[in-house]
Structure formats: C-alpha cells, structure tokens
Structure 1
Amino acid sequence: MTLTMLPHRQAAGLRSGKLHIDGEWVAAEGGATWTHHHPATGEEIGEVAVASPSDVDAAVAAARRAFESGEWSRANAQTRIAVLHRFADLLRENADQLRALQALDNSVPVSFGSIYAVSVAAAADAFDHHAGWIDKIGGQTLPPYQGGDHLAMSFREPIGVVAAILPWNVPFLLFAQKVAPALAAGCTVVLKPSEYATFSVLRMVELLIEAGLPKGTLNVVTGPGDPTGERLITHPDIDKISFTGSREVGKRIVEASAATLKRVSLELGGKSPAVVFGDAPDVGVAAATTVGAVTMGLSGQACVANTRALVHRDVYEEFIAAAQGVAAAVTYGDPFDPSVISAPLINGRQLDRVLGYIEKGKAEGARLVTGGERLSGEYAAGNFVAPTIFADVDNSSTIAQEEIFGPVLSVVPFSQEDEAIRLANDTEYGLGASVFTSDAQRAFRVARGLRAGTVGINGFQIEPHLPFGGFKQSGLGREGGRTAFEAYTELKTVLMPLGDELM
C-alpha cells in the first residue's frame, strides 16, 4: 500500500500560507512561494509565501507602529490577561486540528501529540502561566541612599519589537515559549516560523487574532533563512531576537545583533547525557526513557534529547540489551496512523547528514548494535532512518561530541561517579541531562556537578513555569517562568523629589 498524505490536507483545513502584516493576510511581494514536501512521502503538501526583505520591512514597521500606539504595550493588565487566557482556551479547543496540521508539516505522529512537552496542552499552559505574570511583575521602591527626601523607584517596561524565530520540530511549545512572554510583557512581535513547519503555526496565529490581539501586535513573515530570516535578524528596528535552532545560525544572530546591540535569547542545541548508575531503580526503564527520546516521536530531532548514554559497567550489557529491544519496537509510516510512533527526518539534507554521522561512527571504531541504515520498501520515498545504537563509544569521538539530530544513541561505559561527571561535561554543549540512580544523595551530587541547564532525576520533563536553556554553547538566556517574562522587559529607574529641594 502506497503511503500518501494528500487525503489528509482537506480534512486538516490546510491552506496555502500567506504573510500576516498589520492585521492583513497578504501574498509575498512578487508572489514568491516555497513548496513544502512531506518528509514521509516526498509529496507536495502546500505552498508557503516567501517574505522578501521589503515584506520584512513592512512587518517590522507595523510592529513598531503598534508598539508606539500603546494599544497593547500600555494596555491594562486585565486586557492582556483576558486575551492570553482566551487564546489558551482556543488552543485546547482546536488541539485535534493543530496536531493534524503538525503531522502535515513535520510528520510528527498524532499519537505523539499527547506527550506533554510537544503537545498543544503545553503551549496552552505556557500562555496561561505567562498571563499570570502580567499583574504581578514590577520594580522596586527604595529609600533614598543620599540627599534629601525623594523616591527612588524602578519599573519594568516592554522591550519593544521582538523577532521570534522558530524551528520546525516543536512548533506548539516553542511558539508559546517565545510569543507568550513577549506579549505578556507588552511587546509586539514579528514571527518567522520554519518553512518546514508553517501551517500549524499560521493556524495558531489565526486563533490568537480571534482571541482579540490588536492589529499589528503580531506579524508573521514566512520563508527560509535567506532572504527572510537574514533580513529579520539584521533589521535595525528590531529590539530583541529570540531564536531556537542550530548553533551556527545562533552565532550569526549574535554577530548581526552587534550593530544595534539587540537583546538576544538563544537556545542552540545539545549533546545531552543520560547518566545510568548501577543502582538505577530500573535499568530497563532507564534504557526505554533514553532510547525513546532519541527514536520515538521526533526521531531524535530534539535538541534536549539524551543522545549520549553514560552507563556504569555493572549494568552496561543489560542497558544495551534493553535499549536494543526498545529500538526494535519503534514503528514508522503514516503519522495519522495511531500505531505509528516515530517520524522521518525532516528533509533530504538532514537524511544525508545523519547517514554520514553513522558511517563516521563505524569508521571511528564504535560497535554498531542495531540500525544504521535508511529504511526501504514502502518507506523508500521518505527520509526514514532506522533507530541506531552504538556501543563502546569513545567520548571524544565525533558521534559523541557533535549534535547529530537524528535517531542515533551513543553508549559510553564508566566505572566511577567522578568519571561519569567528567565524561558528561566533556562537551561544548550544556542543555539537558538525566541521572538514573536510587541514591538520593548521589543524584543531588551529580545533578549539581553537571554543567547543564536542566537535569532530570530518573526521568526528564519540561515545565512552563521553570526556566529552560543551556550552559556553554547551548545558548544564551532562558525560556519559561519569571526569567523569560523579565527577558522581554527593560528596567527603568525613576527618581522623584517629595519636597521643594532639588536632589
């Protein structure tokens, strides 16, 4: 039976993607478009407008006008709270359609949509959470340090016009992690989704407008990094850039921000370790958790996935056997089929990249336990790679050091706790980590010793009210919680005399 996505397009309500500028849905200048090919079948799914530099200029100008008008930036707390809560409700009401559109975007199975971190529910919770900060965040009133009687105060004000740039892999949560705190703080936004996950994002934008967001407050420019993204990150009237994606693009954004000293928040990937001790509560569960993050759902195309397993020698072979069993149970195919639990790689370029890393792992002497090949037969038209596990990996090798962004797990043995911490930290990245042990004191010691932004004990989760981000080259700043809200504000100090004397 031939795999096809075409019957799902109409059922999901998919329409060709347009730009959203100053409250209007418009075609790109000159009618330029980009055709999206589904990663599981290669079929043409739909067209996305490619915003030209002048389209980006128009979107930024609209966001600036909206910000300066004060309709949103100076709106009272009650107004902003109501809009964000209403949008969260609309997300929940339209969750089935959004999951279907995501499956047409990036082929993430609809069955995986209930996993909290990538779910519509997580996005809705993030908007509810940030709405809750609107009437609670503030500055300080301090006693005078010197001089006469006066007030010394500080205020938090919205940072201005924000460029929010999304990757394709987790559009729901990443839309929320950027747009929710920006809007809650009173900013206006120019949003650029990935060209590989545009249709689900555009539907969220429609719902946000339905929730009552004023014209020009959220503008959307679609298209690839060149020309659309490049013009956005270099635009002189952008006050802040928030980006999730590759380290190379993140470095380009830092360079581009220097000209006008734009504020920057970056989440740039990882090579996250799962550290499995001999006293792990259940080695099989540790293996299933680790392998699942690398092979199921996004098929390892997640920056925080534990792509390195550091396993104590006492349970090393047990872990590998359990991991091999989990990998064998992964199913592929139609993302609308409830029995399918994993996705293909997003495009042919990524397919070639992952297969290249697999060959590199073999050449450098790692033991290939399972997988390592592109799937054929009924999957031949898609970008499917079998779940791949390498054992006996040298932690300094290429597959242990570089972010592969595919279904490849590198298993590294260790003997001592300090050795495990050293190996875990021996990377340029520092986004996430997991520790599996029954010893609470060891769990805490190791968690504190790891140079990573988020550490899970006997599991891993992302919560909307907690900061998320990385150490080292995994990025700058944090998303989630009060920290994220404050990152979209500027602090202003005001001094006011209370008498006739000058300060």
Structure 2
Amino acid sequence: MTLSVLSHRDELGVRTGQLLVDGHWGAADGGATWTHRHPATGEVIGEFARASATDVDAAVAAARRSFEAGTWSRARAGERIAVLQRYGRLLREHADELRGLQALDNSVPLSFGSIYATSVGAAADVFDHHAGWVDKIGGQTLPPYQGGDHLTMTFREPLGVVAAILPWNAPFLLFAQKVAPALAAGCSVVLKPSEYATYSVLRMVELLAEAGLPAGVLNMVTGTGEECGEALITHSDVDKVSFTGSRGVGKRIVEASAGTLKRVSLELGGKSPAVVFDDAPDVTIAASTVVGAVTMGLSGQACVANTRALVHRDIYDEFLEAAKGMASAITFGDPFDPGVLASPLINEQQLERVLGYIAKGKEEGATLVMGGERLEGEYSAGNFVSPTIFADVDNSSTIAQEEIFGPVLSVVPFGDEEEAIRLANDTEYGLGAGVFTSDVQRAFRVSRGVRAGTVGINGFQLEPHAPFGGFKQSGLGREGGQSAFEAYTELKTVMMPLGDELM
C-alpha cells in the first residue's frame, strides 16, 4: 500500500501561497515559486511564492510606513487588546483546519498536534497572555537624586519593525511566541515562515486580518533562507530580528546585526540532558517520558527534547529495557491517521544527516540497542528513520555533543550527583534539562546546578506565561512572559524641571 495525503490536501483546499505586503496578497517579484513536497510521501502539495530581496524591501517598507503612521503603534490599549483577544478566539475556532494544514506542511501527526505544546490552543493562550500585557506597559517615576526640584520618568515604547523568522517544526507556537509580544507592544512585523511549513502560517496570517489587524502591520514573505531570509536579516530598516532555528544561522544573524546594531532574540537548539537518579519515582515512566520526547510527534526534531539520558548505573539496565519498550510502540504513516504517533524527517537532506550521525555513533564505539535504519516498504517514499537508542555512550562523543535533530537517544551512565551535573553541563548548549528523583532537595540542587534555561522535574510542561530560552550557545533572550514583552520595547527616560531653575 502506498501512502498518500493528496485527498486530505484536496479536502482542506490548499491554495497557491502568495506574499502579503501592505494588506495585499500577490506573487513574488519575477513570479518565482517554491514547490513543497510532503515529507511522508514525496507528493507535491502545492507551490507558494519565493520572495526576492525586492519583495523583502517592499514588505519592510510597508511595515515601516504602518509603524510611523501610528495606526497600530499608537493605538489605544483597548483597541490592541480587542484584536489580540479576537484572534485567540479565531485560532480556537479554526484549530482542526490548522492542524490539518500543519500535517500537510511537516507531517506532524494529528495525534501529536493535539498535545498542548504543539497545539493551536497553546498559540491562542500565548496571544491571550500578551493581550493582557497591553494595558500594563508601564514605566516609573523617580525621585530627584541631586540638584533642584524635577521629575524623572521612564516610558516603554514599541521597538519598531521586527523580522520574525520561524522554523518548520512548531509553526503554531513559534508564530505566537514572536508575533504576539511584538503586536502587543505596538511593533510592525515582517514574518518569514520556513519553506517547509508555510501553509499553516499562511492561514494564521489570514485570520489575523479577519481579527481586525490593520493592513501593513503584519507583512509576510515566503521562500528560502538563502534568498529571502538573508535579505531580511541584513535589511537596514529592520530594528529587531527574532529567530528560532540552527546555531549556524543564529551566528550569521548576530554578524548581520552589527551593521545597524539590530536587537536580536535567538533560540538556537540544544543537546538537552535528562538526569535520571536511582530514586526516580518510576523508572519506566522516566524512560517513557524521555524516549517519547525523542521519538513521538516530531521524531526528535525539537530543540528542547532530552536527547541525552544520563542514567544512574544502578538502574541503567532497567531504564534501557523500558526505553526499548516505549520506542517499539512508535507508529508511522499517514499523519491524518489517529493511530500514527510520529513524523518523518523533514527532508532528504535531514534524513542523510541523521543516518550519518547514527553511523558515527557506531564508529565511535557506542552500542546500538535498537533502530538506526531508514524505513522501507510502504514508507520508502518518505523520510522515515526508526527510533534509535544508543547505550554505553561516552559523553564526549559526537552523538552526545552535537544536535542530531532526529529520533536518536544517547544513554550515558553516571555514578553520583556531582558527576551527573558535570556531564549535564559538558556541552556547548544550554536550552533544557530534566531531573528525575524523589528527593526534593536533590531536585532543587541539580536543577540549580544545571546550566539550562528550562528544567523540568519529573516531567515537563510548556506554560505560555513562563520565559523560555537558553544558556550558552542555545541562544540570546527569552520568549514567553514579561521578559518577552519587554524585548519588543525600548525604554525611554524623560526629565522635566518642576520649577524655573535649570536641572
């Protein structure tokens, strides 16, 4: 039986994607297009506009005009709140349609698209949360420190034109985490989705207009990173770049920002450890939680997934057996099938990359416990790799140090708490971590000792009002909560004498 998603495409009514500039949808300059192939079947899903530098210029100019005109940047708090709250409601009303479009984009199965962290509901909650900040953009009044009688005040003002660049793996959430605080603060936005997840974002943008966002406040350019993305991050009239993706591109953005001292927010991946102690409340649940994050849903194509399991030697074998059991239950196929639990890799390039890391793991002496091969037969047209577990992994090895972005778990043994913390921190990344223990004091000691932006104790849950981001080379800045909102504003100080004397 050959897999096909074309009937779902036809049912959803996927249209030819166009650019949105100043409220108008249109083709790219020169008419260039990108053809999107489904990662599970290799079928052509459709085409969308491939923006050039000329298109990016037009989109940035439209964003600048809207910002300077003040239609949104100086709108009353109540107006902004109403639009953002309406948008949250529209997202929830169109949740099924959006999940279907995501399954056509990146083949994330519908079963996983209902899990909170990757759901439309999570994106709606992020918009609701940031809508609540709009009327709380406050400053301070400061008493005179020296001199005569005067008043010192601070104000938060919208930063300006924001370039928001999305990855393909979690379009709902990452759209919300970038666009919601930017709009709440009063900024104008030029949005670039990944070429591997465009259709779901196109629909999200259409719904923003339906919610009442004025034309030109949010503009969208689609296409490749090399062409469209590069033009956006180097544009002299962009005030801030917010990006989620690879460390290499993040470094390029930092370089490009130097010319105009652009503000940047970067979330750049991880090699997150899960530290499992011998007093974990339930070793089987700990193993299932870790393996599930690496193999279910996105098949390890998530930067915060705990792809290194640091396991105490006394429960090492027990953990491996439970991990094998969980990984063996993962199912593949049509993402619209409710029984399918995992996606393929996003493209052939990533498939070859992951298989290369698996070969490297074997070459460097790790024990391949299970998996490690491309799925054939009915799956041969897709980019499927079986859930892969390596044991006896040296923490300095390639598969323990480099981000693989695939369904590959490296299991590393440790002896005591001090060694566990040392191994957890022995990485260039610092995005997330997990700690599994029944000892509350140990849980806090280890979570404080691990250098990572988010640490889950005996589990992990996304919260729309909590900051998320990384230490070290996992990025700059935070998304979520008050810190994200402040990242889209500038702080201004105003001083005024209260008498006739000069300050």
Shorter chain as denominator, the TM-score bin is: over 0.9
Counterpart residue number, 2:158: 158
Identity of aligned residues (%): 81
**d(CA) in 1 for partners of 2:479, 2:13:** 31
Q: Per-residue CA shift, 1:41-84, capped at 9, x if unaligned?
A: 00100101000100000000000000000010000100000000
What letter is aligned with 1:264? V
What letter is aligned with 1:85? Q
1:501 CA displacement: 1.6
**d(CA) in 2 for partners of 1:202, 1:145:** 52
Counterpart residue number, 1:375: 375
What letter is aligned with 1:299? S
**d(CA) in 2 for partners of 1:174, 1:290:** 22
SS for the counterpart of 1:174 is helix
What letter is aligned with 1:227? E
SS for the counterpart of 1:135 is helix
1:137 CA displacement: 2.2
**d(CA) in 2 for partners of 1:27, 1:168:** 22
**Which residues in structure 2 correspond to 1:345-494 (within 5 Å)?**
345-494=345-494
1:146 CA displacement: 1.3
What letter is aligned with 2:245? G
What letter is aligned with 1:490? E
SS for the counterpart of 1:306 is coil
Counterpart residue number, 1:187: 187
Q: Per-residue CA shift, 1:287-319, capped at 9, x if unaligned?
A: 000000000000000000000000001110000
Q: TM-score, normalization: structure 2?
A: 1.00
Counterpart residue number, 1:220: 220
**Which residues in structure 2 correspond to 1:18-417 (within 5 Å)?**
18-417=18-417
**d(CA) in 2 for partners of 1:188, 1:96:** 28
1:13 CA displacement: 2.6
Q: Per-residue CA shift, 1:12-53, capped at 9, x if unaligned?
A: 231111000000001001110000000000010010100010
Q: Per-residue CA shift, 1:245-296, capped at 9, x if unaligned?
A: 0000000000000000000000000000000000000000000000000000
What letter is aligned with 2:300? G
Deviates more, 1:471-480 or 1:140-149: 140-149
What letter is aligned with 1:72? W
Structure 2, unaligned stretches of length 5 or more?
A: none
**d(CA) in 2 for partners of 1:141, 1:12:** 54
SS for the counterpart of 2:153 is strand
What letter is aligned with 2:455? V
What letter is aligned with 1:277? F
**d(CA) in 1 for partners of 2:353, 2:131:** 41
**d(CA) in 2 for partners of 1:232, 1:113:** 30
**d(CA) in 1 for partners of 2:268, 2:177:** 15
Q: TM-score, normalization: structure 1?
A: 1.00
Q: Per-residue CA shift, 1:180-214, capped at 9, x if unaligned?
A: 00000000000000000000000000001100000
**d(CA) in 2 for partners of 1:130, 1:5:** 36
1:10 CA displacement: 2.0
Structure 1, unaligned stretches of length 5 or more?
A: none
**d(CA) in 1 for partners of 2:13, 2:294:** 31
**d(CA) in 1 for partners of 2:232, 2:260:** 13
**d(CA) in 1 for partners of 2:68, 2:136:** 23
**d(CA) in 2 for partners of 1:228, 1:346:** 20
RMSD: 0.5
Q: Would you identify which runs of 4 or more consecutive aligned residues in structure 1 move more than 6 Å?
A: none
What letter is aligned with 1:494? V
Equivalent pairs counted in the alignment come to 503
**d(CA) in 2 for partners of 1:16, 1:174:** 23
SS for the counterpart of 2:214 is coil
1:440 CA displacement: 0.2
